[in-house]
Structure 1
């Protein structure tokens, strides 16, 4: 599959995930949300319930914690930019939809997907995208100039911390997803 999109995609694992019937109470607890049992990705990660539980709680705290910091739209923007940079079509599609929805700027998000991480953006989004991409690079190239740009764009310490968490989490999550399977044009059951 090629091309970045905001369409709902499916994901096909290269390893056999657990079936929904094989999931125990411990697996469901690790999923945090029982609806995730429909996802082959989460059923594959459920093979190690302790790690899945920690991963899911971390993800939820980064993206759903309303206690100050970076607005949800820009946390999603950081995840989208990281995913675009890393080539994770599936994650980019999910987080681009959220970034466009919460920011009410779907055209700017679309440009990021279509033209890449260097696409024209306003100063604040440029600083966020540049910092997320620098953090996702291997080795990381995040430096004082990125922090200065973020501060000039109005981000305080808590907002910068949220950006670092979102970018770092997706640097890891993209690599995990890319090593375990591939996106498909068929939406998974939980996305229908």
Structure 2
């Protein structure tokens, strides 16, 4: 692979065979704007990262250029997906994120959150069908309702209406669980578009 060229923080990196299909495999991500190097991270940046291990990620080191915004983003992310003492099970929060990522065409985010959805639900084949066949696939009414609501929010919030809430309730979700569907889908609708504007998925080496 040719050497990376960096000019005024812009990176031009020739990519060999980037992923072009949705997958549950681990893939990489390459930024188009130079992230901070690990050696450049200050205490302020580490506060923004929230978890020290995230310093290994070029995506989070790129977002660390604005550490206060990154901290708010990361704490919202962690609360939506990891605070599962009540509300929607983790698997279905990840399902909502996967559906949003599938609709937005974010191959990297879909790979991450489909793996989480598979791990927590033990329904890897169904999650793969969502990736392969799209959002109209029949996964059983509870999952169908979550996917439909997530897709409506992702396309445009105005597409999400009372009919989606009624369908979620009919599928057995209570109000707190419905709120978790909305939060997970809305967060990744935004996160996908940020990631898609800053870089591209790459094959792992």
TM range (shorter): over 0.9
Distance, in Å, in 2 between the alignment partners of 1:166 and 1:18 is 28
1:128 to 1:139, Cα distance in 2 relative to 1, 3 A: closer
Please state whether the residue corresponding to 2:191 is helix, strand or coil: helix
**149, 153, 159: which is aligned to 1:135?**
153
Please state whether the residue corresponding to 2:48 is helix, strand or coil: helix
**47, 51, 57: which is aligned to 2:75?**
57
Match of 2:144 in 1: 126
Match of 1:48 in 2: 66
Distance, in Å, in 1 between the alignment partners of 2:130 and 2:159 is 20
Structure with the bigger RCO (C-alpha within 8 Å, sep 6+) is 1
1:22 aligns with 2:40: yes
TM-score normalised according to structure 2 size? 0.89
Match of 1:190 in 2: none
Match of 1:182 in 2: 200
Over alpha carbons, which structure has the higher Rg? Answer: 2
TM-score normalised according to structure 1 size? 0.95
Match of 1:101 in 2: 119
Aligned length: 187
Structure 2 runs not aligned, ≥5 long: 1-18
Q: Please give the residue correspondences for 1:78-117 in structure 2 after superposition, counting only pairs within 5 Å.
A: 78-117=96-135
Deviating runs (4+, > 4 A) in structure 1?
A: none
Structure 1 runs not aligned, ≥5 long: 188-192
